[in-house]
């Protein structure tokens, strides 16, 4: 087995996931295996091939520009873990 393809500790931090040491080690070996399998894609010649982001892209889909009602504040906040004064509450972001 060649050297590690992925640095799980670094990527998990990008993804905002605080993994345990055990999880990190397990994912490291499992995802290396998956990525080694994914590497086979490199064998294909894709020169000049356009990427497909969507199988059936619909472009410029507009609705008529009419005012519509939206979710009432009370309902939008209903599932919030913490709320106050009709707002979502989070830990302090700026000093």
Partner 1 sequence: MSLHTWSLFQAAEAIRRKEVSSTDLVKALLARMEKVEPRVQAFLHINAENALEQARLCDAGSAKGLLHGVPVALKDILNVKGQPCTCASKILKGYIAPYDATTVVRLREAGAVLLGRTNMDEFAMGSSTENSAYQKTHNPWDLERIPGGSSGGSAAAVAADECLAALGTDTGGSIRQPAALCGCVGLKPTYGRVSRFGLVAFASSLDQIGPLTKNVRDAALLLGVLAGKDPLDSTTLPDAVPDYMNTLEQGVKGLRLGLPREYFVDGMDPEVEKLIRAAAGELQKQGAEIVKISLPHTPHAVAAYYVIATAEASANLARFDGVRYGYRANDPVDLLDMYGRTRAEGFGAEVKRRIVLGTYVLSSGYHDACYLRAQKVRTLIRHDFEQAFQKCDAILTPTSPTPAFKIGEKTEDPLQMYLADIFTIAVNLAGICGISVPCGFVKNVGKLPVGLQILGPSLGEETILRIARAYEQATPWHKEKPGLL
The two structure tokens encoding residue 83 = 């709320």
Q: Tell me how far, at minimum, the Cβ of 14 lies from partner 1, in Å.
A: 5
80 sits near partner 1 (criterion: CB under 8 A): yes
CB 89 within 8 A of CB 82: yes
33 sits near partner 1 (criterion: CB under 8 A): yes
Q: Tell me how far, at minimum, the Cβ of 86 lies from partner 1, in Å.
A: 13
11 sits near partner 1 (criterion: CB under 8 A): yes
Q: Tell me how far, at minimum, the Cβ of 37 lies from partner 1, in Å.
A: 6
């Amino acid at each position: 087995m060649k050297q590690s393809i992925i640095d799980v500790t670094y990527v998990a931090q990008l993804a905002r996931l605080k993994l345990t040491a055990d999880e990190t080690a397990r994912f490291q070996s499992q995802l290396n295996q998956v990525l080694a399998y994914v590497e086979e894609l490199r064998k294909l010649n894709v020169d000049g091939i356009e990427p497909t982001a969507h199988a059936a892209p619909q472009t410029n889909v507009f609705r008529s520009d009419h005012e519509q009602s939206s979710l009432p504040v009370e309902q939008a906040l209903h599932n919030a873990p913490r709320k106050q004064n009709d707002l979502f509450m989070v830990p302090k972001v700026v000093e």
